[in-house]
Every structure is written in C-alpha cells, then in structure tokens.
Structure 1
Amino acid sequence: MDHRSSGGQRVLAIVERGYRGTLDKQFFDELYLATELHRQLGGLDILLRGSAVTYALDAPPPPALRIGARTVDTVTDPRAGLRSLLAAGVGVWVEEPALAALGSPRRPLPGIRLAQEGEVAAHWKDYRAVFFL
C-alpha cells in the first residue's frame, strides 16, 4: 500500500460521518478544514469510512434546497471539495466494503483509492499523526 509520499511526514485524517446538514455547513466543512490542514501540516491523507464514503461517489452537484419561498443555492458539495483536495496532492482513500454496502452503481471519483476495511489502519504507525475530522 503506497499511501505516503514524504516518508512518514504526512498525517492521516479520518472522516466517518458524511453530510450533517446543508445550512450549518454551507460556509465551512471538514473538507475545507482538510485543505488548510494539508497546507499547514505539510501533507495529508484522508480516509473516508462509514457514511462519509458517499463523498467519494462520482455524482452531480447537489440541487438547490427549497424552504418555503426561499431557495438555498449554497449547498455544500463534498465531491467538489474532494476534487480540490486531490488536485492539491492529498491522498484520498475510501473503504471499499462501506462503498459496496451502498449498492450504488456510481464509481468513485478519479484519483480516489480503494482500501479494504482495516487496510489503512494497519499503516497508522507510518503517519506522523492520525486524527478524526
């Protein structure tokens, strides 16, 4: 498993819970935080597990949300966040069993790597730090 590009200097961020609500996350979410952590810590890998594996699916942007007469069109798009992270050199892993459990016909976004359950955990010792977002 080749997941580190700087000899153990990278950190691993684990995201287990996906989508916690539109309005409270429209300006800042864990993937935006990951962008800053990658920049400030000198390298980041992300592991998506649990319901957060839905972020990895290649899907269209979420539609605007209609609440009464108001339309909210600043809905968070985790796929856009992942694309930005991948472009910045962040390694993104998704646990394949959780992805398969969804039963979705959609494939993961290009650049996202599949891992078996526990595969990335076996390499935690190789990271400078491991934390949950």
Structure 2
Amino acid sequence: MDGRTAGGQRVLAIVERGYRGALDKQFFDELYLATELHRQLGGLDVLLRGTAVTYALDAPPPPPLRIGDRVVDTVTDPRAGLRTLLDADVGVWVEEPALAALGSPRPPLAGVRLAREDEVAARWKDYRMVFFL
C-alpha cells in the first residue's frame, strides 16, 4: 500500500463505527459514499477499524426484518457495499487487532487486506488526504 495511483495520490477514508442499521438508511450509507468519493477523487483506500470491522466478515446477508405483519427486506448489507468497493479497485484494509477482538470464526471477505495495529497510520503521509467517514 503506497497510497499512489498513476494520476496522483489516493485518499484514505477511515470507518470506525459499524452502523446498526435503520430503515431510512437503506438507500445511502458510508460505503456508498466511499464509492462516489473513489470515483470523484481519483482513488480511495478504506480502513475499517473498531466495530466497522464487522463489515469485512464473510457472512450471509442480513435476514429480513419483521415489524408486526410487515416484512422489510431492504435492510442494507454492508458486505454488499464492501464488495462493490473491492470491484471498483478500492483498497480495503481491516485492522487485525479489532478483528481479533471481535472473536468471530468467520474470515474476511476475499480481497480485504489485514493491517497490523498502526500499520496504516504510519503511511498517512503517503495519502493526499485522510478523513473519517
């Protein structure tokens, strides 16, 4: 990870908090925003930390939500958003200590890279911009 593309430097977006979900969020989330930022800024890497590391787990989509007699099957699946980012050549990193603290037996999605603690922070200088989503 050197933070550079042929057209210049990439930017780094850090996501620290996994979003628990809401019906009003189903059409736009931070991973959708990351897709647009990648397109508009000419290259993006994403670092998942804290509870956001759950986005990187290879798991099935969330089940539909039942509210009384109504079934809502449009709940956002962060893994689908992450796959979209990976398909768009966004570099996706997940901090290994946060993943280990989760204690999940599930592996990360294919294409997600593991980062040692502070490994990505040591490379912030290589990015044109670093921000939190």
TM-score range, shorter chain: over 0.9
Q: TM-score, normalised by structure 2?
A: 0.95
Match of residue 6 from structure 1: 5
Which residue is equivalent to 1:52? 52
Contact residue 3 and residue 91 of structure 1 kept, 8 A: no
What SS does the aligned partner of 1:40 have?
A: helix
Output one character per residue of 1:52-96: Cα deviation in whole Å (capped at 9) or x when no partner. 000000000000011111111101000000101001000000000
CA RMSD, aligned part only? Answer: 1.2
TM-score with structure 1 length normalisation? 0.95
Give how far 1:20 is off.
Answer: 3.5
What stretches of structure 1 of length at least 5 have no aligned partner?
A: none
1:95 equivalenced with 2:105 (yes/no): no
Aligned residues: 132
- Give the share of equivalent positions with the same residue, in percent: 83
CA contact (8 A) 2:16 2:50 kept: yes
Q: Distance in 2 between matches of 1:19 and 1:66?
A: 19
Alignment of 1:1-133 (within 5 A): 2-6=1-5, 9-133=9-133
- Secondary structure of the residue aligned to 2:130 is strand
CA distance in 2 between partners of 1:72 and 1:28 (Å): 17
Tell me by how many angstroms 1:115 deviates: 0.4
Is the contact between residue 3 and residue 11 of structure 2 (CA under 8 Å) also seen in structure 1?
A: no
Instruction: Give the letter for the 1:91 counterpart.
Output: G
User: Do the aligned partners of 2:4 and 2:126 also contact (CA within 8 Å) in 1?
Assistant: no
1:3 deviates by 4.4
Moved over 4 A (4+): none
Answer yes or no: is the 8 Å Cα contact 2:4–2:127 preserved in 1.
no
- The range that moved more, 2-11 or 28-37, is 2-11
1:19 Cα deviation after fit: 1.7
CA contact (8 A) 2:15 2:132 kept: yes
1:122 match: secondary structure: helix
Q: Contact 2:96/2:114 (CA < 8 Å) preserved in 1?
A: yes
